[in-house]
Amino acid sequence: MSKNDTPRDMTRSILFDMDGVILDSMPYHVRAWQEALSEHGFSVSAELLYLHEGAIEPDTAAAIFQGNERFIDADIFHEILERQMEIFATRYQSMIKPFPRVPQILRRLSEAGWQLALVTSSHVEILKKVLPPEIKSYMDHIVTGDQVSRRKPFPDPFLAALSALGQGPEACLVVENAPAGIMAAKAAALHCVALTTTLSEEYLSEADAVLNSHAELSDYLFECNYSLSPLTANSLFQVSKHNPLGIRILVQSARG
């Protein structure tokens, strides 16, 4: 049965973040931020930028970058943002690649009939330049940061994806790597798995499961009491407490 033939009420959907989950891109985004900020007299640690991935906005920048003995207003923020995007495009964009296991994971999920969506805070123009056509071909829907009025940590991006896929939250799983994405997923009442690609587990504790690699993610999806074929919503997320990987899992039924 192809994806198009799978009954909608039998389809399990997975919503993936892009940077730090699908693409090994965050170190390059962080470097571009640090260089752009440095040009404007701000010294910011990589960890701080990882902690606020996808959620650096004009109205939050002052609080995020406080301690630099300078106030960052909306005008300065937009200057820094434009410079960050320029640095990323000219110095680092060509280095962006998917994590090695990602194409295989997406192919298996797609062949098994699962709906897949990409939900990212990046703008569509950046996505077009960094997302390989092969990866894009697996996605049933894509939501970018400029398509919603409020980006992560608000639930709007995930709610837009659910609407486009025709799914309720009980039939979906989110894969994230940053606190803002986890907050957005939980605000949308979604089961969320976090990868430690950019931050350690202590910063991802609000997720329902924290995994240390894409290999663990693959096992979580395909072996820990998850069938390779789509299941009904009633049986979604019935995960064993005694899984052999030692992954911290919150056991949750689809009916809450």
pLDDT at 69: 63
Distance, in Å, from the CA atom of 224 to the CA atom of 47, rounded to the nearest integer, reads 32
pLDDT of residue 65: 76
pLDDT for residue 87 = 98
pLDDT attached to residue 70: 66
Widest pairwise Cα distance in the chain: 61
Question: What is the C-alpha separation between 90 and 102, in angstroms, rounded?
Answer: 25
- Second-level CATH architecture of 3-25+97-249: 3-Layer(aba) Sandwich (3.40)
**CA distance linking residue 97 with residue 24, whole number of Å:** 6
Does residue 215 surpass a pLDDT of 50?
A: yes
> Contact at 8 Å (CB) between 41 and 70?
yes
Query: Could you tell me which residues are beta bridge partners of residue 14?
Result: 116, 173
Query: Rounded CA gap, 142 and 158, in Å?
Result: 10
The answer on pLDDT for 186 being more than 50 is yes
Percent of residues, the chain, with pLDDT higher than 90: 68
pLDDT of 238: 41
93 pLDDT above the threshold of 80: yes
The token pair at 202 is 């202590």
Q: Cβ(119)–Cβ(228) under 8 Å? A: no
Mean pLDDT score across all residues of the chain: 83
Q: What are the Cα distances from residue 217, in Å, to 13, 95, 152, 173, 229?
A: 15, 24, 22, 12, 17
Q: What is the DSSP letter of 23?
A: B
pLDDT tens for each residue of 30-87: 999 999 999 988 889 999 999 999 888 887 777 777 765 667 888 889 999 999 999 9
In words, the CATH class of domain 26-95 is mainly alpha
pLDDT of residue 224: 47
pLDDT of residue 254: 30
- Residue 47: Cβ within 10 Å count: 13
